[in-house]
A = this chain, B = another copy of it.
């Protein structure tokens, strides 16, 4: 069986000059790979007719070309006329596209401009693929057996159309070579130590599998992936290897699925009918931000006090001023009182708290930059732990957030209850 070869073509000067990072291409690469297609290359070019035509011509050697960018309403977008030239067609008015643009403007309560009306012109020979997410049309054209799909460059529009509309059409049209993967989410152990613990297992993996380490902010994602004609053999083999792997590192695995740790916590709390609140100083609301990105989080999440100023710790959650004066604001005592105070105020079953020095300045000998106290108040008491998360501000904030959720997760899973 021949593999389906796919090219991703990204159009936009802003990508070439480094003003925007091409995250669309990596998202598409991931989704296409998972769907069983072979991503042959990613080509990024500028908004110039000649470069675009050359790229289209070169792309005729693959089965499918996904083009992003160049479909917005403004003057720097020249993709559509160039598409017409390449496919030997012309732009015509589409009532269907027009109605979609109208509906979106009506929903947002805006008047439609002349420029937006221009978006309703699409190449005569194209198949219009509905875009429920924005005004730029998605278009499907074919030439010499190669399918070209033109997608908007705005990431959430592009993703929505890909998932809703395109993938089902690709499944009808193209052959897939089964691909499967397992993602093992770990926290609490660094990449190289993890690698040492699993090196013998890794060495003995079958040829059709590969392992990747993807570290980020206190988490190491392990991705075990493979391709095999026999999809059920592939799946069984992956499961078998994951079982062997779990025997080696189960103590630091928090999910067997590629999801953020706060989602795992959310699902557990939801299933148990339990609730959470947070009291945040150095994490500045990031614990709340993370969990409220999850649809339905209001079922579990009560609220947060971001007590960034010291006096707010007293005003909002009743941490005694004398306690702060005695122990300092970055201390076990303050972290624990914050968690206890927030648990009481919110009526939640659990409260997580943070107090620390995110940096880059503000450290002392006793509490250098990166020092963070985390605490967890539970129905039976409070536990806390001191950490140092390094010198980079964003890194400190993200790692403290992940580590706090890991603390709660360990408690919920009943592991290591005394220590948390």
Contact = CB atoms under 8 A, between A and B. Distances in A.
A372 to B, nearest CB: 12
Contacts of A133: 390-392
Contacts of A30: 17-19
A394 interface: yes
B210 A115 contact: no
A42 interface: yes
Nearest to A28: B18
Given A108-B390, A285-B286, A316-B345, A154 B215 contact: yes
Interface-central residue, A17, A116, A190, A199, by most chain B CB under 10 Å: A17
B17 A109 contact: no
If over half of A's interface residues share one DSSP class (helix, strand or loop), that class is named, otherwise mixed; here it is: mixed
A279 B394 CA distance: 23
Contact of A298 (B116, B211, B288, B309): B309
Contacts of A212: 12-14, 19, 76
Interface string A153-192: 0101000100000000000000000000000000000111
A308 B276 CA distance: 11
B307 A303 contact: yes
Interface residues of A, number: 108
Interface in A46-79: 46, 51, 72-76
A31 interface: yes
Contacts of A345: 315-316
Interface in A287-333: 287-289, 291-293, 295-298, 301-309, 311-312, 315-316
A271 interface: no
Given A21-B23, A316-B316, A388-B109, A16 B43 contact: no
A91 B390 CA distance: 29
Copies per complex of this chain: 2
A15 to B, nearest CB: 7
A146 interface: no
A305 B304 contact: yes
21 contacts: A14-B212, A16-B29, A16-B33, A22-B26, A41-B43, A43-B44, A73-B195, A75-B199, A75-B211, A284-B297, A285-B285, A285-B292, A288-B306, A295-B359, A303-B312, A305-B306, A306-B306, A312-B346, A315-B346, A315-B347, A316-B316
Given A13-B212, A18-B27, 9 more contacts: A18-B30, A21-B21, A22-B25, A76-B212, A284-B293, A284-B297, A296-B361, A301-B308, A302-B312
